[in-house]
Amino acid sequence: MRHLLLTVFLVPLIVFSNENEKDFMANIHPYQIPFNSEKFDLSYKTVIENSEAKTVNEKKSVMLAAVLSAVIPGTGEIYSKSYWRGALFAGIEIGLWSSYFIYEQKGDDMDVVMRSFGDTHWWERKYWGKVYTDANNQGLWQEDPLILDAEGQISEADYNKHIDYFQELQHDPDLGYTHQLPSTKTQQYYEMIYKYQHQFGIGWDDFISTEKLSPNTITYRDMRNNSNDYYQTATTMVNLVLLNHLLSSIDAAFSAKKYNSKVKLSLRAYPRYVGRELISIYGLTIAW
């Protein structure tokens, strides 16, 4: 920091003897003021205290600026008087959170459509009909024989009666199944019905073969991928929010430091003896 000190020496008036004092005061220049040590000391103290108080109040805390922007991007910049930069980071924060909620909602909406499509075109009782047929062919079925309809589905009554047994059969290594369909319609449930075609493909109402996806399977897959893409975009927005907090915190710290290094003016006044006479000294300090 560079300092420029400008000092002005004001020589006090010489006090004349009592017999000449009256004539002197009558002829004194209107801009000349006799030096009063007591008043000068009081005014000097007041100037110094005010100057020091002003300097302390104007200085910005680098740590506080960084913490403010780490919590709410832009607030540290505003605290450091960098209003445009603060508005920029705050605007980015609002935009990122808005994008997050938009894409999260799009993912939820597409997920609802996808599940509805799956419930309509993937028939669970048709899949259990396959499990029954495979188990019966392997001699693993230990219950009364079941009757399947023209689509290969078991009846609703047989489903309710044997669902726990069906779940157990999926774990039998002799059937060669690689996955087990969950008993409830979880996210894993809706993923399996299209992802593992060799086991679950037969459940689709337009099933072609285990080697070729049916049109409804392809439509469902695309819906699932779109939903996942929306969720992934929402996750990216959250990561960018965290990055915005970090960058804003760093920028706020630099903004506070830059603010503290701006030009400052301070006026100092103090008395000093030169020889036998008390001299009034005023100092102007410029720092940048």
pTM of the model: 0.67
Torsion of CA 185, 191, 195, 200, to 10 degrees: 0
Residue entry with tokens 């006026």: 267
Contact 40, 270 (CB under 8 A): no
Residue entry with tokens 């980015």: 92
Per-residue pLDDT tens, the chain, 288 aa: give them.
443 333 333 333 233 334 444 444 444 444 444 545 555 455 555 555 554 444 444 789 999 999 999 999 999 999 999 999 999 999 999 999 999 999 999 999 999 999 999 999 999 999 999 999 999 999 999 999 999 999 999 999 999 999 999 999 999 999 999 999 998 999 999 999 999 999 999 999 999 998 899 999 999 999 999 999 999 999 999 999 999 999 999 999 999 999 998 745 555 655 665 555 656 565 655 554
Contact 210, 194 (CB under 8 A): no
Q: CA of 85: how far to CAs of 71, 88, 166, in Å?
A: 16, 5, 63
* Secondary structure of residue 270 in the 3-state scheme: strand
